[in-house]
Each structure stands twice: as structure tokens, then as C-alpha cells.
Chain A
């Protein structure tokens, strides 16, 4: 493929609409995900995104077809799963990670049950490719999806900025935050809600199975370039957007029917590998050089 045919290939407005959408949700997921990674809650996002599936399907069964309501259904189910895990953790000796893995499988299983039920029993269901939510298909993003991503993403980022200091304190030293009189449980709830929001707006483009990577990878990459929270969050947002953009274009070039979730995740993984080696704050290369120099 010559450069010119490549340009022609990329020169469709539909592609850029879609790429804009995935870049936006990469921005949101990267910024919000930084806090999840910092608080060692990386895998909670994985559970939430899988758990969203029965919510999506249930919303569909109840007649919802607009992206807002489907997303809302997913968020409610993700929330419920979090509550279940919290309950099991408080009321039994089952370890947290086991509760997380178990809830993931149970909710995802319920999602598959509802999905097959819809495919077999709801007339006209095949017109709404609900199963694309599994691996994500950015090409299916419509303008209304973009509006939802834009609005919810903007609200999430604004809240992140508004509660910057309390969130920072909560992430580094929750006990100190509590002693200063912050309502730690409430803050925790809010931050978790932001994570759930970042996950569910990405489900259509990235898919329930891989959405977690878009929370974790940009933050892990950004961490290698900066030792300051502000720097990490900004960079993670940037990396997330880059991964969304690059993955969408890569998926488009790979051909029709290739799910975009994997290409976006691979783009993000590439950024992580690059950062692990070359990151200016902690990257392996610079650390070696610095050690050799001193």
C-alpha cells in the first residue's frame, strides 16, 4: 500500500467521527484509570466491565434501544456487582480477589444467558448487534453514541478536577484524609462511580472483555514518565486518547469485521512497552544510564 492509497483509505469522515469518539473515551479512561491503578484497584475495572453485560442486556429486554439507556443499564449492573463483592468481603472470609473473580463470572454468565435469550426470542434483535459489545466495534459508533461519550466523559473529567485534592489525599493516605474530616466513604463512592462511568461509555467501542486495559495501560505507561500525580493523570489521558485513535485507525486498515477492542488494547500495550524502556522518570533505559553515570 502506497502512502497515497493509505491517505485515500483514511479520508472518510465516518472514520474520523469514530476515531474522535475512541480518542475521547481513551482520554477519560486514562485519566480516571490513573487513580484506580494508584489505589491498586486495577482489576476492579475488569470486573465492572464484565458485570455490565447483563445490565446492557436487561436494558435491551426492557425496550431500551438508545445508547444512554443501554449504558445506564450497564452501569447499574456494574454497580450491583461492586456491592456484591463488597458484601462478600465484609461478611465472609472469602478473599477479595476470589470475590472479584467469582462476581465477574457470575455476572458475565448471566449476561450471556440474557444475550442468548434475546437472540433467540426477541424478534428483530439481530438488527441491534448487541453481541458487538463483547469485543467492541468502534465502526458502530453513531453520533448519539459520541454525544453520550462526550457528555458523560466531560462530567467525569470535571468531577475529577473539582475533587482533585480530596481524591489525591484519598489515594495516597486514606487514614490521614479521614482524620482531616473528609468523608472518605463518600469520596471512595464518587471515585468508584467515575471508574464505572469511564468503563461503561467505552463498552460499545472497546467491549466488555477488554475495557479494563484502557483503564490500566495508559496509567501504567504515564507512570514511567512522571513522579507527580498531575503529570501522570494528564499523560495517561493523552496516552489513552492516542491508543483510541491509533487502535481505531489500525483496526480500520486491518479490514472489515476486525473488532476494534483488540487493536485499541494493542496500541495501548505498545505505549506501555515503549514507556517501560524509555520513560524519563523510571524507564529501564534511563535508570541503567543513571546508575552507570553515578
Chain B
């Protein structure tokens, strides 16, 4: 018997990793908000499936709900094709309407079941402990269902990696090579729907978009290779799931919400610290470029007046800030940098260009 905390952590890790894999393609295909829409309409699908099966614990609930997700995507595309509304408005019309219908039906008829609206909205991973589904007569815990979906996603990815990659980055080429981008699109949507349904109890309809998008977006800042991105996204999701669940239990807060916030913190770290693309790296690059620019300006200034009558006056350190129109504080900093780079040498209160300083000026001027 696993401990309560370990089991919860495993559920959230499985959710985050399972969502991150298809989520990476959603981010790359600029379809992130479709997962938001799918997450919302699942409630409607689950309620409908419940009316049909009359059993809140039936595994068919999963498939009924997943089908609604795909139908939603088709509805949005249909609405867009009428050209009466734009894409963003089409998404914004379809999913609130279906979600509203789901909430209304659930609050009218399902108050007593586990589909209780408030609980459903907030996400309730504690359910993972209870064996809810029966498959072929054996009770199955939601944790195992979630791990199963994670395995399925990894498997699908392994099988269709080439197809997904090509249809994502160059749909036209993919179509001309006979890869059927439309089929991959709906396959991905079906997988997103199924994953969102499996994650539904744990994270609810609203937060699920974060589980799809945030780890993938963070990974997107860290690498240029798709294969690395996928592994990284799943790993970051798992890290967020572990840390977030731990924090939530420690501080007695909503687990799904805490994990979503933790994933956000991970993204913020990636945004700040990513090599090359991170905010700090960008700042450092800009500073380096600015410094190099100033040093080059100094070299050119000295070079232009080398051997002229004005050389003495123009290369006097105390007068530099006037000649170059620099704030006085900058001169000393640039001089130190230029000296270190070997562009200039001090001669008393005057400056002399070195050979490499002269070369730098010539390189820019010619």
C-alpha cells in the first residue's frame, strides 16, 4: 500500500507528463487554447454520457466525454468555415456554451454524485485513491488509468513521431508527401481529449490547459530540438507535479491549483535563466554588445585623429567625454574595458591605439 502523499504525487506527475507530450505539439501548432476549450466541454460530455449509462463510475464516461472534445473541435471549425465569425470568437462561442450546458445539467441533476459542480471545477485528485472504474470485473484506480494514458501517449508519440513532426512544421510538404495533415490533426485532438478526460478528476476543466501548455512552453525556451523538447516537457511537468503536490499537502491548499502555480514558477525560471534565449542571457548579450560598440567607437575616434595636428587634444583622456559626447562616467568604464581587450594603451594622460585597436577601427570603417 502506497502512502497517501506518494499516491497523490504520482497522480499529478502522471497528469502533468501525460499532458505535456501532446501539449508540446499544441504549443508548436499555435493551438494551445483548443486544449482550454476541450477541457471545458468535457463536463458536458461526461454529463451526457452519464445520462446514457446512468452510472457515474462507468468507464464509458471517459470515451463519451473524449468524443465531445473532438466534436467541439469540429464545431469550432464548422463555425469558422461559415466565415461569419473569426477563429478566436468561434472558440470563445462554442466552449462557454457547451460548458454552460454542462454546468447547468450537472447542477440540476447530479448534485449527489461525484460530478458535483464545485468539486468538478476545482479538481479533486484525492479521488485517485478510490477504485472507481471496473474494467473486465477488476476494480481499477484512476491512478492506473492516468499512468495508462501516459504510456499510451508515449507510445503514440513513438509511432507517429515523424508524421507529427512533419505535419507540425511543414503541413504543405507533409500533404504533398502523402502524410494527411488533417488526419494527424484530428488524431492529436482525439488524444488531447482522451488525456484531458483522464486528467479531469484530478485537475478539473479549467486548469488543464496549464498542464498541456506550460511545461511545453518552458521546454520550448530551452531547446531547438523536438525530441529534446518532448522529453524536457514531460520532465518539467513531472517536477512541477511532485513539487506542487508536496507544497499543497504541506500547506493544506487545493492540489491542482498549487501544481498549476508551481508549473508557472518553473516557466518563469526558464524564461529568466534559459541559456541564449532567457531574459538574463538577453540582457547580458545586450550589455556585451553595448560595451563592444563603445570600445569600437573609441578606437575609431582615436584612429581618425592619428597622425593629425589635433591628435594630442583628441586623445587626451580628460577631454574624451566632450569629443565623444559621452556622459563622464562612461569614459572610465569604457577605457578599462578597452584596455582589457587590448585595443588601447594609456600614455600618461593620453591614449594610444594598439595594433589590434587599429585593426578594429579599420575593420569597421572599410
Tell me if B59 is interfacial: C-beta within 8 Å of chain A: no
- B261 & A92 in contact (Cβ 8 Å cutoff): no
Q: Mark B236-269, 1 if CB is under 8 A from A, else 0.
A: 0000000000001001111011111101100100
- A109 & B259 in contact (Cβ 8 Å cutoff): yes
Q: Mark A153-180, 1 if CB is under 8 A from B, else 0.
A: 0000000000000000000000000000
- A209 & B206 in contact (Cβ 8 Å cutoff): yes
Given A102-B214, A266-B100, A266-B104, CB of A108 within 8 Å of CB of B85: no
- B282 & A91 in contact (Cβ 8 Å cutoff): yes
- B84 & A276 in contact (Cβ 8 Å cutoff): yes
- Residues of chain B within 8 A (CB-CB) of A98 are 26-27, 30, 32, 213, 216-217
CB nearest to B23 among chain A residues: A98
In terms of DSSP, what is the predominant structure of the interface of chain B?
Answer: helix
- A262 & B258 in contact (Cβ 8 Å cutoff): no
Say which one of A63-71, A72-80, A216-224, A226-234 lies at the interface with B.
A216-224
Bound: A265/B97 CA distance, A:
6
Which listed residue (A217, A254, A255) contacts B93, Cβ 8 A? A217
Which listed residue (A40, A105, A213) contacts B100, Cβ 8 A? A213
In terms of DSSP, what is the predominant structure of the interface of chain A?
Answer: helix
| Most chain A CB atoms below 10 A, which of B92, B207, B208, B260 | B92
CB nearest to A283 among chain B residues: B84
Say which one of B115-123, B149-157, B328-336 lies at the interface with A.
B115-123
- A105 & B207 in contact (Cβ 8 Å cutoff): yes
Bound: A266/B94 CA distance, A:
11
Tell me if A117 is interfacial: C-beta within 8 Å of chain B: yes
- B84 & A282 in contact (Cβ 8 Å cutoff): yes
- Residues of chain A within 8 A (CB-CB) of B213 are 98, 101-102, 105
- B36 & A102 in contact (Cβ 8 Å cutoff): no
Bound: A88/B89 CA distance, A:
23
Bound: A101/B207 CA distance, A:
9
Interface size class of B (residues with CB under 8 A): 35 or more
Total number of A residues with any Cβ neighbor in B under 8 Å:
64
Q: How far is the CB of A62 from the nearest CB of chain B, in Å?
A: 18
Bound: A168/B356 CA distance, A:
58
- A104 & B209 in contact (Cβ 8 Å cutoff): yes
Tell me if A113 is interfacial: C-beta within 8 Å of chain B: yes
Q: Mark A257-293, 1 if CB is under 8 A from B, else 0.
A: 1110111011001001000100100101000000000
Q: How far is the CB of B114 from the nearest CB of chain A, in Å?
A: 18
- Residues of chain A within 8 A (CB-CB) of B99 are 209-210, 262, 265
Q: How far is the CB of A148 from the nearest CB of chain B, in Å?
A: 24
Q: How far is the CB of B72 from the nearest CB of chain A, in Å?
A: 14
Which listed residue (A112, A215, A279) contacts B256, Cβ 8 A? A112
- Residues of chain A within 8 A (CB-CB) of B212 are 101
Q: How far is the CB of A50 from the nearest CB of chain B, in Å?
A: 7
- Residues of chain B within 8 A (CB-CB) of A113 are 248, 253-254, 257-258, 261
- B100 & A106 in contact (Cβ 8 Å cutoff): no
Tell me if A46 is interfacial: C-beta within 8 Å of chain B: yes
Bound: A92/B27 CA distance, A:
13
Bound: A98/B25 CA distance, A:
11
Which listed residue (A43, A108, A266, A282) contacts B207, Cβ 8 A? A108
Tell me if A131 is interfacial: C-beta within 8 Å of chain B: yes
Tell me if B227 is interfacial: C-beta within 8 Å of chain A: no
Given A93-B277, A101-B32, CB of A213 within 8 Å of CB of B96: yes
Tell me if B33 is interfacial: C-beta within 8 Å of chain A: yes
Bound: A265/B129 CA distance, A:
35
- B254 & A101 in contact (Cβ 8 Å cutoff): no
Bound: A45/B33 CA distance, A:
13
Given A131-B118, A212-B92, CB of A116 within 8 Å of CB of B253: yes
Tell me if A110 is interfacial: C-beta within 8 Å of chain B: yes
- A254 & B221 in contact (Cβ 8 Å cutoff): no
- Residues of chain A within 8 A (CB-CB) of B100 are 210, 213, 261-263, 265-266, 269
Tell me if A141 is interfacial: C-beta within 8 Å of chain B: no
- A97 & B92 in contact (Cβ 8 Å cutoff): no
- B257 & A112 in contact (Cβ 8 Å cutoff): yes
- Residues of chain A within 8 A (CB-CB) of B260 are 105-106, 108-110
- Residues of chain A within 8 A (CB-CB) of B35 are 101
Tell me if B357 is interfacial: C-beta within 8 Å of chain A: no
Q: Which of A115-140 contact B (CB under 8 A)?
A: 115-117, 120, 131, 134-135
- Residues of chain A within 8 A (CB-CB) of B216 are 98
- Residues of chain A within 8 A (CB-CB) of B277 are 92-93
Tell me if B45 is interfacial: C-beta within 8 Å of chain A: no
Q: How far is the CB of B177 from the nearest CB of chain A, in Å?
A: 25
- A42 & B261 in contact (Cβ 8 Å cutoff): no
- Residues of chain B within 8 A (CB-CB) of A105 are 206-211, 213-214, 260, 263-264
- A135 & B117 in contact (Cβ 8 Å cutoff): yes
Q: How far is the CB of A44 from the nearest CB of chain B, in Å?
A: 9
Given A93-B221, A276-B82, CB of A216 within 8 Å of CB of B89: yes
Closest 9 CB pairs of A and B: A105-B210, A109-B260, A112-B257, A106-B264, A213-B96, A262-B100, A109-B257, A265-B100, A269-B97
Which chain A residues have a beta carbon within 8 Å of chain B's beta carbons? 37, 40-43, 45-46, 50, 88, 91-95, 97-106, 108-113, 115-117, 120, 131, 134-135, 209-210, 212-213, 215-217, 219-220, 223-224, 254-255, 257-259, 261-263, 265-266, 269, 272, 276, 279, 282, 284
Q: A220-B93, A272-B93 are in contact. List 7 more A-B contacts (CB 8 A).
A: A92-B277, A95-B27, A101-B209, A101-B213, A106-B260, A224-B84, A262-B100
19 A-B residue pairs with Cβ-Cβ distance under 8 Å, sorted by A, are A37-B89, A41-B88, A92-B271, A94-B220, A98-B27, A101-B32, A101-B35, A102-B210, A103-B264, A105-B260, A108-B257, A109-B264, A210-B103, A220-B93, A258-B107, A262-B100, A263-B104, A265-B100, A276-B82
